[in-house]
Amino acid sequence: MKTYVPRTVDVRFMQNLVGSLTIGGVWSYKDQPIMFRKTAEKQMTLFLADGTLSQAEVEEQVRRNKVVMAAAGIEFIDGRKS
């Protein structure tokens, strides 16, 4: 599997997005089947992964967001796991 490296614009977008959300605010990007809730100042929790895509496609979107958040200094929490 090729290593995903986020672009600078993606990292800045994530920093600005998380900075603009209030605690409890929800974000989902139009072409991604996943949703996040801001659960702390620099923390986003995944709480939904829509089943409209294959499980592999969903997991790829989750993985990429996790990488971008790490590069942006945002903690990623997978709220699907109990």
pLDDT (tens digit per residue) in 40-79: 999 999 987 776 778 888 888 889 999 999 999 999 999 9
Does any domain span residue 74?
A: yes
Provide the residue range defining the domain that includes 42. 8-78
Does any domain span residue 16?
A: yes
Does any domain span residue 1?
A: no
- Residue 74: predicted pLDDT: 98
Q: Per-residue pLDDT for 34 more than 70?
A: yes
What is the total count of domains within the chain? Answer: 1
Does any domain span residue 3?
A: no
SS3 sequence of the chain? CCCCCCCHHHHHHHHHHHHHCCCCCEECCCCCCEEEEEEECCEEEEEEECCCCCHHHHHHHHHHHHHHHHHCCCEEEECCCC
